[in-house]
Every structure is written in structure tokens, then in C-alpha cells.
Structure 1
Amino acid sequence: MIITGILSVAMILASLGLGILLRRLLVNSLKKTVLDNWITQTVGVVVIAVPLVLGFLGALALWNAPFVTQFLDASIFRKTDLLIGFSWQLVQSLLLAAFGIGVARTLRAITIRSIGESRVDINMRTLIARVLYILILSITGFWILSVWQIPIGIPITVLGAFTVTLTVAFQELLKNLVAGVYILLERPFYIGDQINITSGMITYVGKVEDIQLRATKLRRVSGEEVSVPNSFIFDNPIINNTYYGERRAIVAVTLLQADFSQEATIHNILEILKNHDAVMSKPDPTVMVAGFVDDKIALEVRFWVTTGQVIDISDILYELHELLPQAEIVVREPL
């Protein structure tokens, strides 16, 4: 009895170990292909299940071989054809669902990558990939229905009633979906652009990481990720900071009139700007007097920078501070 128990446990562990080994070899091989990780892991689970089932049957045979033989006999299956049929349909449905999701994810990734080589913009690539994703999932759903021999009219009727219910109950969600499709088609900004969205006292500033059907994900300058509903973007003005690839910067410099020389001070500031790599030569940098307050004079320094992302003009500020150590230096643009 003890020996039989030990052999049974050893057989199950051996089958499990064999399954894990086969899964590792298969998954490592499939990772080098275009298949999505979802379908790779699903195939890996199936590979583990096969030797594990055989191991359980072998362990059970050690305890009661006639029972296993009788269980595997065709007559038993004929008596339980209804249960077996249901189980087989269930297994088919699960495999089809896993396969469909894996194929959909794989095609989505391939579409985004392959269409990108033809210079189609990323918004359109994303839209096409998601349409294919939904199409594959829909085909998979109808395929599963055919496994259960459900007439197509039933799910269509249910879907119609469900759609009416959703339209009434989830108007805001549908509004976001429509706005998401509009953003992908109209392309007011692209993935990778830095945008400002302002509504009253609410302002979102960040780099566009993804445009989903319900919300757009932004990576803020401070590092956080924020999901902005597409309807909010649709209803409010959008400032695309990276559309033209260059931006204007304005620095306010306030210093004592005694420290100001109309020719020397302005000339030295312009020299700093002209010698800085980030500052564009055209349009020309300018320095103008913005006003007088008591014994102080306010200057406005304007220049354009070549970067299309968040502008870092710290080096320029340091050089201006070294030139005018007693002056107040404040960045006005970009904020």
C-alpha cells in the first residue's frame, strides 16, 4: 500500500515535471515568433495538461487497474455521451476563446508594426489594429456559438436589446467611444505629442502615451500617468505643444537701473542666446524693455528653441544669472 502510494505520487510529479519542461521548451521557442504572449501561454498550459492527465490515469491504474480500463472502455463513453459531448463543447469553447484572443492580439501587434513601415501615422495604425482586434473577437464569438449549435438570430436579438439598454444607461461611455474614434480619425494630436487640455480651472499637460477608445493616457511632466476621458478632450480646446517642432520661450529679467546699460546689457544677453545650441537663429532672439518700476527696469527676453518636447532652458537661465547676479529672472513661457 505504501509503495503504491509512493509510486502514484512519483508518477504524478514526474508527469508534472515533464509537462513543465515541455512547456518551457515550447514557450521559449514561440517567444521568438510573432505570436502574442497570450496564445503562447495558452499553448503552454495545454502542453502541461496532457502529460498531467496521463500521469493521473497512470497513478489511478496503480490502485485500481480494472477501473481505469473500464473507464476507458468505449461502452462507458457511449453511456455517458451526453456528459462527454458537453465536456467536449466546453473544452472547444475555452480553446477557441484562448485561440481567438491570442490571434487578435497577435494581429494587432503585427498590424501596428507592419503598417508603420509604410509611413502610415500611428493614430491610423492604432485604429486599424483595434478594428481588426474587435473583428477577430466577433468571429471567435460566433464560432463558439456554432459549437453550441445556437442559432445566430438569438444572439443578434439579445445584442440588439442589450445595445438599446447600453445606449440609455451608458450615454457617457458611448460618448467617450465616439470621441475616441474621432480623435483617431481626425488626428488633432499623435501618440508621442505633448498636449495641453484646459477646461476652466482644470488643466492637463503631458505626453500622449496611448489613445484608447474610452480615454487618452497622458504621461505628465511630473511623471504620473493620467487617463483623460475622450469626451473631455472632444469638448475642450487642445494645445499641441509639439506640432511644429519648435516653441517660443519668454524670460522676464528685472534688475536695478544702475546695473543696466542699454547697449552692453542687451548685447551680452543676445550673445548668450546666439551661442546656445538649443536657441534657433531664426527668428532672431530679441531683448526689449518691458517697463520701469521704481528704480528697476524690466526686460523681456524672447527666443525660439528647436526642441519639440518639454523645453529645458535651465542652462540659459544659469548663464543669465551669471551675467546678471542681482537680477530677478523668471520664465514666462513655456509654463
Structure 2
Amino acid sequence: MFGSENITLLVLIALCAVAIGLTLRHFLVRRLRRTILDKWLVQLLGAIVFVLPLIAAVSSLPLLLRSSLVNSIIIVVLTSLPFSLPEIKRFAWEAFLTLFAIILGVGVGRTMMRVIIHALNNNRIDINLRILIGRIFFIIVMIIDAFWVFTIWGLAIDFPVTIIGALTVTFTIAFQDILKDLVAGFYILMERPFHIGDSITIGNAAYAPLHTGVVENIELRATKLRITSGEQVTVPNALVFGGIVINNSFYNERRATISITLPIAEFVKEEMFTRINKTLEECDMVADKPEPTVVVSSYTGQQVILMVRFWMKSEKFASISEVMYTLRTALPAADLSFVESAGEFS
């Protein structure tokens, strides 16, 4: 009985020392984090404070074991408990393993989360996406840790697996549209087909109308655009992911087409082509290479329509307007309109 009492006393002292050490370390680390001390130094001081109660417990153990009063108290306590000594030992060991598993799981999960966030920082991935990926790995580690705890206590994992599976199916069915947007947003943030500040056009055969605007924000659920009328449009990422996206800002140069309508009496082919090309050469915003082209689009009894195609050094619509103004000055009798693939803008 004396040997069993010694083991019980040892376990109780160890548990008390660990509890006191963890408590002191928690308060000390939380207080020192607000100071200018380096985090490694803070963790070192926390480890020292944690070890001190263990050293004190080990030092006092021989004195307590030699005390007849302590032995008497232990005997009285053990005889009054409704559990046997082996059951108490097994419970204490399982509780210790559970505490160790939780601390180890939280530590490994947090460390993995920080490592992943730091590693993804080198790839210039959005901070929100880095935090999301880190938290996903943290949750995975904690789920594995939970199954470890179930194993320690001898619980069958069939029941929690069934519950988790049922909740997963229910959650997926109830929030399938939101999940589609989240998965699409994750892909957009990873692939980066466009960036904040880009001018894009989003189109989908199943959804109308087309949306053209400047990207203001890219979130996990939706992409926000500021259209030319000044309004903000929130487009679900599932539509962006499943649709056609035209990035108007991807290239610095952009081809433009202007339709010129002239009275048939004013049209002299060679002279008109030369005048138009000379006017375009005087525009600083028109690129020299590739050279502008002028073609006859159609003839009617009263007028002729020309298509002028050229490359802009800037994708801004204001620059196209300046070119149209310059052509209008050179051709006062002509009607001009700017032509895009999506339509015609006068």
C-alpha cells in the first residue's frame, strides 16, 4: 500500500505543479507580449516560469513521503473515494495524455498556420487568403487532435464520424451557392486573372447584361466593380469563375476602331486615306507600330463608311475621345463613332 500511496502522491504533486506552472506562464507571457521584448525571449521566460513549480515539487517530494501525517491523510482519502486506486491511476494518466494532446495539437496547429502564412507571403498572395489557408490547416490539425483524444479515452470514432458526415452533407446542401462563390473566390485569389484597379468586362451566356468596370475589391464571395456610371456592382464569384472575363488593362496598348461616315461627294480615296493617316500621326496617344489602317466598310448612294483601326498607347477612353476630336477637326463633314466588340458608342 505504501508503494501505491507514493505513486498517487507523485501524480497529484505533478498535476498541481503543471497546473501552477501553466497558469504562471500564461499570465507572464500575456503581460510580456505588450512590452518591447522579443517573442523568443518572452517564450524563454515563460518556459523558465513553467519549470520552477516542477523543480519545487520534485524538491519537496522526499519530505512529504517521509511524513506519517501525509500517509494517514492519503489512506483516509483513498478509502473514502468511490473508485479504486487502479481506476484513479488510469483516469489520471488519461487526463494527463488528454492535456498533453490538446497542448501539442494547439501548438502544432498554430505553428503550422504561422509557417504557412509566412511561406505564402513570399508568393505575394493576398493577406486574407493567406490567413484563410493557415486557418484551414489549423482546423485540420485540431480535427486530427480530437480523434487522438477520442482514442485516449477509448471512445469509438464511428459516432463522431457519422455526426460530422451528416453535418457536412447538411451544410453543403443548405449553403451550396455560397460554397460555390467561396471556391470560385479562392481560385480567383490564387490565379489572379485580374487585380484591383484593372478594367474588366464580365460576361456569361446565361446571365445578362455584361458588366464592365474597374475592380475595387476582390473578396472570397464576390468581386466589386465600379462601372462607368459611377455605380458599384457586386458580382458573385461563381459568375466570374464560370463566365468570360475580358481584362481591358492587361496590356498597356489597345486597339481601337473608329467609324467615319462621309458624304459621297466629299470622298476621294487616296486623298482621304492620306489625310486620315497624317492626322493620326499627329496624335501622341496613337502608337506608331503597328501602323494605323483605313479601309472602306460600305458604300451607299449618299455616303461612304470608313473603318479606321489603330493602336492606343493608353487604354483610357479619354485618349480615344481626343483622337476622335482630332479627326473631327480634320474632317468637319464626317460623322464619327467609336466601335467596340460589345457595340458602338457615338
> Structure 2 length as normaliser, TM-score?
0.53
The one of 112, 128, 142 equivalent to 2:130 is 128
Compared CA separation, residues 157 and 190, structure 1 to 2 (3 A): farther
CA shift in 2, pair 1:278/1:122, >3 Å = farther
1:227 is aligned to 234
SS in 2 for 1:207: strand
1:212 matched residue in structure 2? 219
Matched, 1:290 2:297: yes
* Structure 1 residue 309, shift from structure 2 partner: 5.0
Pairs within 5 Å for 1:99-138: 115=121, 120-121=123-124, 125-132=127-134
Give the secondary structure class of the aligned counterpart of 2:186. helix
Match in the other structure for 1:94: none
Structure 2 segments unaligned to the other structure (5+ residues): 1-33, 35-113, 142-152
Question: The residue matched to 2:190 in structure 1 has which SS?
Answer: helix
Aligned counterpart in structure 2 of residue 171 of structure 1, from 165, 172, 176: 176
Q: Larger RCO: Structure 1 or Structure 2 (Cα < 8 Å, ≥ 6 residues apart)?
A: 1
Percent identity, aligned pairs only, is: 42
Report what 1:89 is aligned to.
none
How far residue 160 of structure 1 moved from its aligned partner, in angstroms, is 5.9
Aligned residues: 217
How is 1:196-211 mapped onto 2 (pairs within 5 angstroms)? 196-200=201-205, 201-211=208-218
SS in 1 for 2:337: strand
Q: 2:244 aligns with which of 237, 247, 259?
A: 237
For residue 127 of structure 1, give the secondary structure of its aligned residue in structure 2: helix
> Which one of the candidate residues 322, 333, 338 is aligned to 1:326?
333
Give the TM-score taking structure 1 as reference length: 0.55
Residue 183 of structure 1: which of 185, 188, 194 is its match? 188
Give structure 1 stretches of 5+ with no counterpart: 1-29, 31-106, 140-150
SS for the counterpart of 2:269 is coil
- Whether the aligned pair in 2 keeps the contact of 1:241 and 1:309 (CA below 8 Å) is no
**What is the CA–CA distance in structure 1 between the aligned matches of 2:339 and 2:258, rounded to whole Å?**
6
Q: For 1:242-257, what aligned pairs fall within 5 Å after superposition? A: 242-257=249-264
Q: Does 2:285 match 1:299?
A: no
Q: CA RMSD in A?
A: 3.7
Q: Report how far residue 136 of structure 1 moved.
A: 8.5
**Cα gap change, 1:122/1:260 in structure 2, threshold over 3 Å: closer, same or farther?**
farther
Q: Which has the larger radius of gyration?
A: 2
Counterpart position of 2:23 = none
